[in-house]
């Protein structure tokens, strides 16, 4: 499968990556806990195989990790927002697109090496 996509020109790759990032970020698709490759494919008009290949080759992560990194970024950028600040960790996780608190914790540990409490405490100190 990957060999057929290796033939993409640099411009084609960049155009696809821009489209993937645009739809993922502008529509905040990552906030949907049920976001799947097929949905992103439908939104972007890029095949699921091509999206998967590009995310793997260009970002060095699989689709689920890519989505979880977007969720983590959103969470950390908005951790002091009044909408999130006074919520339980469970509700905060759900608003950021995680299916449950545990999946949020696992993603933070995997990608940031720290717990959510570390970031919450740190945000109150700044």
Q: Is the pLDDT of residue 40 over 80?
A: yes
Q: Diameter of the chain by CA atoms?
A: 50
The average pLDDT across 24-42 equals: 96
Mean pLDDT of all residues in 55-61:
95
Q: What is the mean pLDDT of residues 28-57?
A: 96
Could you give the CA distance from residue 122 to residue 115 in angstroms, rounded to a whole number?
A: 11
44 pLDDT more than 90: yes
Please give the full DSSP string across 30-69, using - where no structure is assigned: GGSTT--HHHHHHHHT--HHHHHHHIIIIISS-HHHHHHH
Q: What is the overall mean pLDDT for the chain?
A: 89
Run of H or E residues at 87: none
* CA distance linking residue 103 with residue 88, whole number of Å: 15
Count the alpha carbons within 13 Å of 41 in the hemisphere toward its beta carbon. Answer: 12
- In this prediction the pTM is 0.87
Q: Which of 69, 74, 77 is nearest to 108 (CA)?
A: 69
pLDDT of residue 3: 60
Check residue 122 and give its pLDDT.
Answer: 63
Give the C-alpha separation, 115 to 69, whole Å. Answer: 14
Contact 71, 97 (CB under 8 A): yes
The per-residue pLDDT for range 63-107, each reduced to its tens digit, is 999 999 999 999 999 988 888 888 888 999 999 999 999 999 999
- Highest mean pLDDT pick, 110-114, 116-120, 121-125: 110-114
């Amino acid at each position: 499968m990957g060999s057929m996509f290796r033939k993409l020109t640099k411009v084609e790759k960049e155009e696809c990556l821009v489209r993937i990032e645009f739809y993922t970020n502008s529509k905040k698709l990552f906030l949907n806990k049920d976001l799947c490759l097929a949905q992103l494919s439908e939104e972007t008009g890029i095949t699921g195989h091509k999206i998967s290949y590009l995310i793997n080759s260009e970002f060095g992560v699989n689709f689920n990790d890519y989505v979880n990194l977007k969720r983590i970024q959103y969470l950390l950028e908005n951790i002091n927002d009044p909408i999130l600040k006074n919520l339980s960790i469970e509700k905060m996780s759900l608003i950021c697109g995680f299916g449950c608190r545990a999946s949020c914790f696992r993603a933070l540990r995997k990608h940031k090496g720290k717990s959510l409490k570390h970031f919450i405490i740190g945000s109150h100190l700044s």
